[in-house]
Amino acid sequence: MKEYRKRNQVFAIRRYLAFFLLMAFVITCCMLLFLNRVSRETGIELDRVHVEQAAKLTFANILFLSLLCTLIDGIRRRIMVDRPVRQIIKASEQIMKGNFSVRIPSLHSPDFMDGFDVIGDYFNKMAQELAGTESLRTDFIANVSHELKTPLAVIQNYGTLLQQPGLSEEKRLEYAKAVTESSRRLADLITNILKLNKLENQQIYPDVETYDLGEQLCGCLLSFENAWEEKELEIETELEEEVQVKTDRELLALVWNNLFSNAVKFTEPHGKISLSLKTEGEYAVVEVADTGCGIPPQVGKHIFEKFYQGDTSHATQGNGLGLALVKRVIDIVNGEIAVSSETGKGSVFTVKLRRERHETP
């Protein structure tokens, strides 16, 4: 800031010289043209003494006008340029110190906005985005710490219990199973964090191929057969045949596996899960519906956020990263995802993907 003030004084030698040279050139040219015209029209040659006096007077006027213009321009710059620049520099210094709440006030009314107002507007939007990112980063660290502590505490506690002498075989198997489940949860959490980090930093690039979407949906759903049979769930499918998509098979498998996992997890025993695949114009539309607990409206606004878990009663079954992964994958493959739900009646997740058309010969 101090360096900027030193370089931008009201009176600056460089600006004065610029004005002087410009005025000297313009006025000299005008004077020469004027004197030449007067001499030709009157036929009178001007006295050398008068010419020298006129030249000296003109030079003095140029010096004075250059000084006047420099001062006026300096005052103009101080009011119209230096003031908004100082505000931007001051706000930038606050941003560098980590204060993302700083904002640049508007310098003019909306009807008379200039370039600095536009810069200030974009600066404020940047500061708002940085504040949101910082908040997400803080929440992410807090949530990761919490999610890591829970399974580690379980492993530690049951590991201590396993060291007790005279432990029955039944209890030993029970404690060992608890340790295994917590280890699996911890491994899943770390895996999902790494996947989400790669997706958000665009370190995973889609490996595009054309394949049958219905076959992939069936394969992913069948992988949860043991889970739905254990809860005696009714499975209903309605899949249109020969629906081709051109996208990354493995990335989309993440989407279907997470949606099916949530449907099984949040549906009570003897409930129902429905899967449908149909075409709508240029799109393939997949719907995954369940008769589970449903999602309250206030929760539905946040379900695609990292570590957000609307139903805390099921928190031990997941880590709140599944739907964040789903949303990021859908964005990468240029698809769309939406959810409609009613508390106590279930949820419907709808995914739209651009499909490949095959012309019949």
Encoded tokens for 109? 């009314």
Query: Domain boundary at 45, 77, 99, which?
Result: 99
Query: How large a percentage of the chain has pLDDT more than 70?
Result: 71
pLDDT higher than threshold 50 for residue 315: no
Number of domain units in the chain: 2
In a domain, 295, yes or no: yes
In a domain, 152, yes or no: no
In a domain, 46, yes or no: yes
Nearest 5 degrees, angle CA 97-CA 99-CA 105? 120
pLDDT digits (tens, 9 = 90+) for 282-311: 999 999 999 988 877 666 555 766 544 444
What is the Cα–Cα distance from 353 to 337, expressed in whole angstroms?
A: 9
In a domain, 55, yes or no: yes
In a domain, 194, yes or no: no
In a domain, 77, yes or no: yes
Query: Domain boundary at 99, 131, 150, which?
Result: 99
pLDDT higher than threshold 70 for residue 114: no
In a domain, 13, yes or no: yes
In a domain, 72, yes or no: yes
- What is the rounded average pLDDT of the residues 50-59? 68
- What is the rounded average pLDDT of the residues 77-87? 75
pLDDT at 312: 42
pLDDT digits (tens, 9 = 90+) for 127-155: 888 877 676 667 666 666 766 776 788 88
CATH at 285: 3.30.565.10
Query: How large a percentage of the chain has pLDDT more than 90?
Result: 17
What is the Cα–Cα distance from 286 to 221, expressed in whole angstroms?
A: 13
**Is residue 88 domain-shared with residue 224, that is, in the same domain?**
no
**Is residue 217 domain-shared with residue 346, that is, in the same domain?**
yes
User: Containing domain of residue 40, as a range?
Assistant: 2-99
Query: Domain boundary at 99, 134, 153, which?
Result: 99
Q: State the average pLDDT for the chain.
A: 77
pLDDT higher than threshold 90 for residue 95: no
Nearest to 144 by CA among 202, 194, 98, 203: 194
What is the Cα–Cα distance from 258 to 261, expressed in whole angstroms?
A: 5
pLDDT higher than threshold 70 for residue 238: yes
pLDDT at 269: 92
Cβ 284 vs Cβ 355: under 8 Å: yes
Instruction: Output the CA–CA distances (angstroms, integers) from residue 16 to 26, 56, 68, 95, 277, in the order listed.
Output: 15, 19, 9, 36, 75
Alpha helices in the chain (DSSP H): 2-7, 13-42, 48-77, 83-96, 115-162, 169-200, 213-222, 225-230, 249-266, 297-300, 322-332
Encoded tokens for 329? 């994958």
